[in-house]
Homo-oligomer: A and B are copies of this chain.
Amino acid sequence: MTDTIIAGDVLRSYIERIERLEEEKAGIADLIREIFAEAKGNGFDTAVMRQILKIRKMDPHDVAEKDELLDLYRQAIGMPVG
């Protein structure tokens, strides 16, 4: 009996803590979006910026590997590698 009530409280606590953190997370996502908007307003290409961020996050070895693979595939189907 009491178990159910207590479990309910615990569950609600979990739920509310998660909701609070998700709000924080959303707030940070907003800030990031604002920075992209500002960068765009100053003439930067946000797609290229995202690419830069992705590369910096990746293991350099993996980057090289993917690049090689792309070249390999392009050659394999007879596309100029550029």
Q: How many copies does the complex hold?
A: 4
CB–CB B48/A75 < 8 A:
yes
Task: Assess the B35–A17 pair: CB atoms within 8 A.
Answer: yes
For A32, the chain B residues whose CB sits under 8 A away are 18, 21-22, 25
Interface of A is mostly: helix
Check B31 against A28 for contact (C-beta < 8 Å). no
Is B64 a contact partner of A82 (Cβ separation < 8 A)?
Answer: yes
List CB contacts (< 8 Å) of A17-36 with chain B. 17-19, 21-22, 24-25, 28-29, 31-32, 35-36
Query: In this complex, what residue of B is CB-closest to A32?
Result: B21
Please give, as numbers and ranges, the residues of chain B lying within 8 Å of A63 by CB-CB distance.
Answer: 82
